[in-house]
Amino acid sequence: RRFNILASILSDRLREEIREKLGGSYSPRASASPSQELDMGVLQAMAQVKPEETKKYGDLMISLAHKMAENGVTQDELERSLKPIQSGLKESLRDNGYWLGVVLGSSQEKPYMLDWARTRDEDYSKVTIKEINDLAKQFLRKSNAILYEIVPDPKEE
């Protein structure tokens, strides 16, 4: 949950920097894919850019993530990240998709999903800025970054 919040805050910073400050028409985003079973996960930032701009924007994304690791996030960023999540939690109580797809569909092989469902609302209400900043320090350092580019073959353009 906290890893996803960290990704959401990074997404907002990427959007603000690339679209609003630099005037780019790109739609950068970050997402988290944690794995409870493997005790690991991936946080990735991505944007579709022109092939000749991949290095520029890749370096910028790594730099923004590293700044989060160094300087932390603000209380305002945390609150803005939590607001849509908490709204979605309320909605999911009225929708069978979460209960059938996420909870019951996964609980046979992942019994902890039942506990997650029971504790999710309370847990989200207890997220602290310190927890998010500790995660940022641990995972968003430049030394953890891997930049990969997917570009078209120039021969086929």
Is the CB of residue 30 less than 8 Å from the CB of residue 11? Answer: yes
- Fold adopted by 2-85+128-148: Cytochrome Bc1 Complex; Chain A, domain 1 (3.30.830)
Overall pTM surpassing 0.85 (yes/no): no
37: pLDDT confidence band, cut at 50, 70 and 90?
A: low
Look at residue 34 in the predicted model and tell me its pLDDT: 76
Structure token digits, residue 138: 């641990």
Look at residue 59 in the predicted model and tell me its pLDDT: 92
DSSP designation for 108: T
Statement: residue 25 has pLDDT above 70: no
Structure token digits, residue 128: 């602290």
Summarised one tens digit per residue, pLDDT across range 74-119 is 999 999 999 998 888 888 877 777 777 777 777 777 777 788 788 8
Structure token digits, residue 74: 């603000």
Residues forming a β-bridge with 44: 31
For 91-109, the DSSP string reads HHTT-HHIIIIIIIHHHTT
Dihedrals phi, psi of 89, to nearest 5 degrees? -65, -45
Higher per-residue confidence, 11 vs 38: 11
Structure token digits, residue 150: 């997917």
DSSP E strands, the chain: 29-35, 40-46
Domain boundaries, the chain: 2-85+128-148
